[in-house]
Amino acid sequence: MNERIDQLWGQALDQAVPETYSQLSHSQVLKVKQVFAQLIVQECLDIAKNWDDQLVNAKLVKESSAVGIVAYRIARQFGVEE
């Protein structure tokens, strides 16, 4: 795993089961997986949004580009608030 994945995994554990990491129930493991997946998707959306903003700011496109549209569709697909 790369460093950012490790950071997101730690954040997911902190948000989902801050009380303990040693003894997780099945429902807690599922919650951790859900939070971790949401963090990964959000990280990808942030990258796409940043790229889209750079394209607009550099006047390479007049408005949201395909990158922005893809980010929007990913957010809808995974139910993540932008």
Instruction: Give the model confidence (pLDDT) of 35-77 as tens digits.
Output: 888 888 888 888 888 887 788 788 777 766 777 788 888 888 8
Residue 1 is predicted with a pLDDT of: 46
Higher-confidence residue: 26 or 61? 26
CA dihedral 10, 1, 49, 12 (to 10 degrees): -20
CA-CA distances (angstroms) from residue 60 to 14, 42, 49, 51, 54? 40, 25, 15, 11, 9
Residue 82 is predicted with a pLDDT of: 55
The per-residue DSSP string of 47-78 comes to HHHHHHHHHHHTTSSSS--HHHHHHHHHHHHH
Contact 55, 61 (CB under 8 A): yes
Higher-confidence residue: 71 or 2? 71
